[in-house]
Chains A and B, each alone.
Chain A
Amino acid sequence: MTTLAEMALAHALRDRLPALLGGAVTLNALAPLHGGSGQENFRLDVAIDDGPLAGRRTFALRGDALQPTPNVVSRALEAAVIEAALAAGVRTPRLHGLLPDLFGVGLDAYLADFVAGIALGPRIVRDPAFAPARARLPLQLAEALATLHALTPATHPALPIDRAPFERHLDPVAAALQWFERTLDALDAPRPAAEYALRWLRHHPPASREITLVHGDFRTGNFLVTEQGLSAILDWENAHWGNPLEDLAWLTLRDWRFGQLDLPVGGFGALEPFLAAYVDLSGRPIRPADLHWWAVAGNLRSALSAVHNGRGTLEIERMATPRRAPEMEFEALRLIEVGP
């Protein structure tokens, strides 16, 4: 069923795509994509009559949401991050330009290649057809992260993604602690388990304070996978200046293993070979205690986001998340109990 909003969007796209794509464009289909529910995502099937992109093509359109998740970057900034990642060699969909104000005043969108693959975690970790992909993914993801983490405030001084508390001059551990404290203080009710985790993080700081570009939501569900392996990294809206171990730990969180608890890397890989590949490719040694700190921090972040994201919404998926927070709080305290 086509909604009025989709009809209006199709109308706006018919007007604006020719200039963006450099030729006459017929919009054959427009369909919402539900992955990455924080933003407005659509699939576009078009025919381009002339110009460098002439032919039948499929694109992904990603626009600013009217009610964005707090502390994520805009589509314009996300596009700048993607361009930087692409230039460095990270597999992520190629962009075809920005459409300012497409979803309303100040609500921009960008057009990207529609890349083959699935992002559904349960299928990626269980479907027998994806067994060859699961064998390849750990090394491919280690490669993607090593490439991404070579981007730093020094190599990309003009990348404008600084936002409090994730600023290039600020210690990434202090920034994370500040974010936890602010988010906890903004909640309506105290959460002693989260306070315990925050206290533990303060009293056991990691040694590594390196700052690089961090994807910020690097996990199963945010990359596209074909039966052959990784096809593209998606959802860069949480990109920030931070510590690279944040991305590595996030990929191993229990929630993103989709039930495959004995396979810490995304529910499909063992930890040691993944870390060995990353260390080898990045030249960056990893202290187990530091990775453990970021795993506790990741669970705390996930718990607080779950509580926060369920407020002030009538979307059932978001309304359901606060009751999931105890899972992440339990996991943070369990990790503290068992140690690195």
Chain B
Amino acid sequence: MNEKPTIPELLRAAALLLEERVVERVAADAPLAFRLRVVTHVLEAAAAELDEGPAVAAERRENLERLLHRTAPLEVLESMLARRLRTAPDLDPDEDRRIRGCLLGGLRAELRLYAPRFDTRLHPETARSEE
């Protein structure tokens, strides 16, 4: 058993303190309350990135490897795809759809980390509200 709290646990504890004890106390100062909410969000995102970032990056890399039929680090695959999108004169409609599907999948994975409440359905407007 690990005797020390992990860094993500420390970050989440700090975020919780801000959210539950501090933001409410400065509610009258709306700009400060807003800044503290940003800080809370940053701490939560940092914790998520430390916990789940490697798995999300691996998922994105595997998606790109399947799309491009290449094995390489994520940055190399992203660079290859970006170059193809900038320079290829025409894309077959099927390839275009596959690329878009792959990119949407990668973005959904990133959003699980950075904006877990972001509705990634194709028609989110059917939901009443989103935070």
Residues of A at the B interface (CB closer than 8 Å) are: 33-35, 120, 189-193, 195-196, 198-199, 254, 259-262, 264, 316-317, 319-320, 323-324, 326-327, 329-330, 333-334, 336-338
Verify A330–B111 contact, CB threshold 8 A. yes
Q: A120-B30, A195-B81, A330-B120 are in contact. List 20 more A-B contacts (CB 8 A).
A: A34-B34, A189-B78, A190-B75, A192-B81, A196-B99, A199-B85, A261-B125, A261-B128, A262-B125, A262-B127, A316-B42, A319-B42, A326-B107, A326-B114, A326-B115, A327-B114, A329-B103, A329-B107, A330-B107, A330-B111
Q: Is B65 located at the chain interface by the 8 A CB criterion? A: no
Verify B130–A334 contact, CB threshold 8 A. no
What are the 3 closest A-B residue pairs judged by CB atoms, nearest first?
A: A34-B31, A190-B82, A195-B85
What residue in chain A is nearest B124 (Cβ atoms)? A261
Choice from A195, A254, A260, A330 contacting B104 with Cβ under 8 Å: A330
Q: Which of chain B's residues have a CB closer than 8 A to the CB of A198? A: 85-86
**Cα(A261)–Cα(B115), bound, Å:** 16
**Cα(A164)–Cα(B32), bound, Å:** 36
**Within the complex, what minimum Cβ distance (angstroms) separates A32 from chain B?**
8
Inter-chain CB contacts under 8 Å: number = 98
**Within the complex, what minimum Cβ distance (angstroms) separates B39 from chain A?**
6
What residue in chain A is nearest B64 (Cβ atoms)? A192
Verify B99–A334 contact, CB threshold 8 A. no
What are 9 pairs between A and B in contact, CB < 8 Å?
A192-B81, A193-B106, A195-B85, A195-B86, A196-B99, A199-B86, A259-B129, A316-B39, A329-B103
What residue in chain B is nearest A261 (Cβ atoms)? B125
Q: Which of chain A's residues have a CB closer than 8 A to the CB of B2? A: none
Q: Which of chain A's residues have a CB closer than 8 A to the CB of B75? A: 189-190
Residues of B at the A interface (CB closer than 8 Å) are: 30-31, 34-35, 38-39, 41-42, 45, 75, 78-79, 81-83, 85-86, 99-100, 103-104, 106-108, 110-111, 114-115, 118-120, 122-131
**Cα(A329)–Cα(B106), bound, Å:** 11
Q: Which of chain B's residues have a CB closer than 8 A to the CB of A336? A: 100
Choice from A327, A337, A338 contacting B115 with Cβ under 8 Å: A327
Q: Which of chain B's residues have a CB closer than 8 A to the CB of A34? A: 31, 34-35
Residue from B35, B86, B115 whose CB has the most chain A CB atoms within 10 Å: B86
**Cα(A192)–Cα(B63), bound, Å:** 13
**Cα(A261)–Cα(B131), bound, Å:** 10
Verify A193–B38 contact, CB threshold 8 A. no
Choice from A33, A195, A259, A338 contacting B130 with Cβ under 8 Å: A259
Choice from A191, A323, A338 contacting B114 with Cβ under 8 Å: A323
Q: Which of chain A's residues have a CB closer than 8 A to the CB of B79? A: 190
Known A-B contacts A326-B107, A330-B118; the reply to A259 vs B131 at CB < 8 A is yes
Known A-B contacts A195-B85, A261-B119; the reply to A316 vs B78 at CB < 8 A is no
Q: Which of chain B's residues have a CB closer than 8 A to the CB of A316? A: 35, 38-39, 42
**Cα(A262)–Cα(B75), bound, Å:** 36
**Within the complex, what minimum Cβ distance (angstroms) separates B97 from chain A?**
9
Verify B122–A338 contact, CB threshold 8 A. yes
Q: Which of chain B's residues have a CB closer than 8 A to the CB of A317? A: 35, 38
**Cα(A120)–Cα(B29), bound, Å:** 12
